[in-house]
Amino acid sequence: MSDTAGKVIKCKAAVCWAAGEPLKIEEVEVAPPQAHEVRIRILHTGICHTDEYTRSGKDPEGVFPVILGHEGGGIVESVGEGVTNVSVGDHVIPLYTAECRECKFCKSGKTNLCGSVRATQGQGLMPDKSVRFTCKGQPIFHFMGTSTFSQYTVVADVSVVAVNPKAPLDRVCLLGCGITTAWGAVVKQPGIKGSSVAVFGCGAIGLGVIATSQLVGASRIIAIDTNPSKEAWARKFGATDFVNPTTLPEGKKIQEFLVELTDGGLDYTFDCTGNVHVMRAALEACHKGWGVSTIIGVAAAGQEISTRPFQLVTGRTWRGTAFGGVKGRTELPGLVEDYLQGKVKVDEYVTHHRTLAEINEGFHDMHAGDCIRCVVDMS
Ligand SMILES: NC(=O)C1=CN([C@@H]2O[C@H](COP(=O)(O)OP(=O)(O)OC[C@H]3O[C@@H](n4cnc5c(N)ncnc54)[C@H](OP(=O)(O)O)[C@@H]3O)[C@@H](O)[C@H]2O)C=CC1
Ligand SMILES: N[C@@H](CCC(=O)N[C@@H](CSC=O)C(=O)NCC(=O)O)C(=O)O
Ligand SMILES: [Zn+2]
Ligand SMILES: [Zn+2]
C-alpha cells in the first residue's frame, strides 16, 4: 500500500482550459480512486494527433477544461474497492478502448469497441458521472478515459492493462495508441500476405501500417505522402514504392495514377491522414471486385466521406478501425512481449523528447513535419 493511498494527490498536469488554447501547466488535485477505479502515476506519454484534434476544437465530443493525453505509461499508485486486474506497483498502459469482457460488444467476438464506459468517457466523466480532477476549485474533465497529461490520473479498471515491467515505459507508452492501432489494422485484416497495399499518410500510423504489412508478407507496399521527407521514413519502414501526389501531372488524380501503376488497383489501402478527400482516393485506388480500403484517420466534426456508390457496387469494400480492433487487456501484454523480442518496432518512432513543462512545444513538433512521435517525460 502506498502512503498516498486514499488521499488527494496534488501534482502537475497540462490543462486545456478552452478549445484552441495552448495547454497550461497547473497544480491539480487528483482524488483517490473509487470502486473499480485505478490511480496511476504517469511517467511518460506520447502526443497523438487526436490530442491536437480535440485541443483545436474540431472534436464534436470535446469538453473543456480538460486534461488530454491517451498514449501513456505509468505505475499503479492505488486501487479502489473491487479492483482485481491490476495491483499497486504494476507497470501499466491506460486504454482508451476499454475491455470489460461482459458487455454485448465484448461478448460478440466481432469488435473491440467495449460499451461499458464509452458513454461517460465521451462526456469527460468517470463511469459514476463525476470527475477526479480539480484545479483552482474547478472540476476538470477527463479525456478518452485516460488523461495521461497529468502526473497522476484515475481510470476505470476496465481501461488499464499491466505489462511486463522490463519494458521501458518511455517507449511502450506509444503502444497505448498509434503503433497498436496500425498493427491491429493490418494483422486483423485477413489476406494481406502476398497482396498489394497502399498507405496514404506516413506519420506514425501510416509507418506502422507499412511496417506491419511488411511483417505479414505484403508483396508490394506503396506509400503516399505530400511531404517529400517522408519517403526515406516510408522506405526505412518497408515501403517498396513512394508517391508524392503533389508531383503528379496537373489534373492527374492519385487514385488514377495508382490504378494504372498496379494494373487495376490495390488489394488493400489505408487512410492514415484524417482527410476525407484522401479517404475517397484510397477507396477508389482499390481493385475492382475485391479491394478493401480501411479508414484509420480521424476527420473533424462536420466532415463527411463520399464516393460514387458504383465504387462499392463493383466490389470495393470501405471499412474503418478504432485502436486497430485490438482488445487492450487481452492483447497488449503480448504486443509488449513482441516488442521486447524485437518482433515489433517501437523505438524507431521516437523522434522527439519533451518535459511536461515543454508539452506545448511537443504539439508544435507534431506540426513541423519531421516528428513521428514526441514522448513527454512527466516526472
Ligand atoms: N482510428 C484510430 O484508432 C486512430 C486514428 N488516429 C488518427 O490517424 C491519423 C494519422 O495520425 P498520425 O500518423 O499520427 O498523423 P501525422 O500527421 O503524423 O501523419 C499524417 C501524414 O499524412 C500526410 N498528409 C497530409 N495530407 C496528405 C495528403 N493529402 N495525401 C497524402 N499524405 C498526406 C502528412 O503530411 P504533413 O506532415 O506534411 O501534413 C503526414 O505525413 C490522424 O487523423 C489521427 O487522429 C490516430 C490514432 C488512432
Ligand atoms: N471523439 C471523436 C472520436 C474520434 C475517434 O474516432 N477516436 C478513435 C481513436 S483516435 C485515437 O487517437 C476511436 O477509437 N474511436 C472509437 C471511439 O469509441 O471513440 C469524434 O467524435 O469524432
Ligand atoms: Zn491516439
Ligand atoms: Zn465491454
Left (φ > 0), alpha (ψ -120 to 50) or beta: where does 273 sit? alpha
Within its chain, how far is the Cα of 124 from the centroid?
A: 18
CB atoms within 10 A of CB 112: 22
Alpha helices of 152-249 — where are they, by DSSP H? 169-172, 178-187, 204-216, 230-237
Asked if residue 50 lies in contact with residue 70, where contact means CB atoms within 8 angstroms, the answer is yes
Pairing of strands 350-355, 24-30: unpaired
The active-site residue out of 50, 54, 153, 181 is 50
Which residues hold their Cβ within 5 A of ligand 3, which is an ion?
48, 50, 177
Pairing of strands 91-94, 71-79: antiparallel
The CB of 205 under 6 Å from ligand 1? The reply is: yes
**Has 48 been annotated as catalytic?**
yes
Instruction: Choose which residue among 47, 58, 96, 105 to substitute to test ligand 2 binding: the one with the highest number of ligand atoms within 8 A of its C-beta.
Output: 96
Its sign, for the CA torsion 130, 134, 139, 141, is: negative
CA distance 188 to 200: 19
Specify burial of residue 241 (Cβ count, 10 A radius: 0-12, 13-18, 19+): middle
Pocket residues: Cβ below 6 A from ligand 2: 48, 50, 59-61, 97, 113, 118, 177, 298, 322-323
Alpha helices of 253-379 — where are they, by DSSP H? 254-261, 276-284, 310-313, 328-340, 359-367
**Tens digit of pLDDT at every position of the chain (379 positions):** 679 999 999 999 999 999 999 999 999 999 999 999 999 999 999 999 999 999 999 999 999 999 999 999 999 999 999 999 999 999 999 999 999 999 999 999 999 999 999 999 999 999 999 999 999 999 999 999 999 999 999 999 999 999 999 999 999 999 999 999 999 999 999 999 999 999 999 999 999 999 999 999 999 999 999 999 999 999 999 999 999 999 999 999 999 999 999 999 999 999 999 999 999 999 999 999 999 999 999 999 999 999 999 999 999 999 999 999 999 999 999 999 999 999 999 999 999 999 999 999 999 999 888 999 999 999 9
Ligand 2: residue whose CA is nearest its atom 14:
322
Q: Of the ligands numbered here, which is closest to the C-alpha atom of 114?
A: 4
Helix (H) or strand (E) holding 160: strand 160-162
Say how many Å lie between the CA of residue 298 and the centre of ligand 2.
7
Asked if residue 163 lies in contact with residue 335, where contact means CB atoms within 8 angstroms, the answer is no
CA distance 268 to 198: 6
The CB of 49 under 6 Å from ligand 1? The reply is: yes
Tell me how far CA of residue 82 lies from CA of 79, 87, 99, 157, 216, in angstroms: 8, 11, 16, 9, 40
**Has 314 been annotated as catalytic?**
no
Burial 13-24 (b: 16+ CB within 10 A, else e): bbbbeeeeeebe
**Has 373 been annotated as catalytic?**
yes
Instruction: Choose which residue among 45, 48, 49, 50 to substitute to test ligand 2 binding: the one with the highest number of ligand atoms within 8 A of its C-beta.
Output: 50
The active-site residue out of 39, 41, 49, 132 is 49
Q: Which one-letter DSSP state was computed for residue 176?
A: G
**Has 374 been annotated as catalytic?**
no
The per-residue pLDDT for 369 is 85
Q: Of the ligands numbered here, which is closest to the C-alpha atom of 148?
A: 3
Give the cell for residue 355. 518535459
The per-residue pLDDT for 189 is 97
The active-site residue out of 273, 287, 373, 374 is 373
Q: Of the ligands numbered here, which is closest to the C-alpha atom of 180?
A: 1
The per-residue pLDDT for 347 is 98
Within its chain, how far is the Cα of 5 from the centroid?
A: 30
**Has 103 been annotated as catalytic?**
yes
ipTM of the complex: 0.98
The per-residue pLDDT for 126 is 98
State residue 331 phi and psi, 5-degree precision: -105, -25
CA distance 83 to 103: 18
The per-residue pLDDT for 2 is 79
CA distance 242 to 244: 7
The CB of 202 under 6 Å from ligand 1? The reply is: yes
CA distance 116 to 101: 9
The CB of 48 under 6 Å from ligand 1? The reply is: yes
Give the cell for residue 321. 478501425
Position in ligand 1 atom list of the atom nearest CA 50: 45
Q: Of the ligands numbered here, which is closest to the C-alpha atom of 324?
A: 1
**Has 106 been annotated as catalytic?**
yes
The per-residue pLDDT for 368 is 87
